[in-house]
Amino acid sequence: MAVVFISPKQRQRTFFMIITAVFVLFLIIVSSGVFLSEPKDVSSNLVFNKPKVNIDMGVFESDKFKSLEKFNEMENQYSYRASDKKNKQEVGFISAVSADEAKKELESRGLVVIDLRQVELGRTNPFVPYYEIAPVVPKVTKKTSF
């Protein structure tokens, strides 16, 4: 039978202590080399040069620019309550650029506008799913009475 002077647990502890000491020594050497070193001088030729930008305003005089079509104005949605010639009330929605345009459109249909309000488009809560069972009623924000 062999005589063992150091137990296996003691040998394992000694091994881990040596590995830990080597790792800590390595970290100290690397950190002192990185964090305690003097910064290098930056050469003066590394300066940002602002580029020269030339804007050709002659584009506005070209035939292609002049032949472009303007976008239509954005239409808003309005809810209305109106009555026809027989005093029958009608309720609905109409899209127009302005409240005056919406009123003119309704009057061209032969209706007398009682109430005209701009409808707020979109959802107030963006986290409500689209497939919600409850009907979505648009909110009325601006009121224009005639």
pLDDT per residue rounded down to tens, the chain (146 residues): 566 666 778 889 999 999 999 999 999 999 888 888 787 776 666 667 788 999 989 889 999 988 998 888 888 899 999 998 888 999 999 999 999 999 999 999 999 999 999 988 777 777 877 765 666 566 666 666 66
Output the domain CATH number for residue 82: 3.10.20
Which residues does residue 118 pair with via DSSP β-bridges, in sequence order?
Answer: 78, 142
Phi, psi of 102 (to 5 degrees): -65, -40
Cα 120 to chain centroid, rounded: 20
In a domain, 112, yes or no: yes
- Per the structure, the complete domain to which residue 88 belongs is given by 76-122+134-140
- pLDDT attached to residue 125: 78
The rounded distance, in Å, linking the Cα atoms of 140 and 109 is 23
The rounded distance, in Å, linking the Cα atoms of 16 and 10 is 10
- pLDDT attached to residue 46: 65
The one-character DSSP state at 72 is: P
In a domain, 11, yes or no: no
- pLDDT attached to residue 143: 64
Q: Count the domains in the chain.
A: 1
In a domain, 3, yes or no: no
In a domain, 82, yes or no: yes
In a domain, 90, yes or no: yes
In a domain, 80, yes or no: yes
DSSP calls for 2-47? ---SS-HHHHHHHHHHHHHHHHHHHHHHHHHHHHSSPPPPPPTT--
In a domain, 21, yes or no: no
The one-character DSSP state at 98 is: S
**Which amino acid, 130?**
Y
- pLDDT attached to residue 116: 93
The rounded distance, in Å, linking the Cα atoms of 116 and 106 is 10
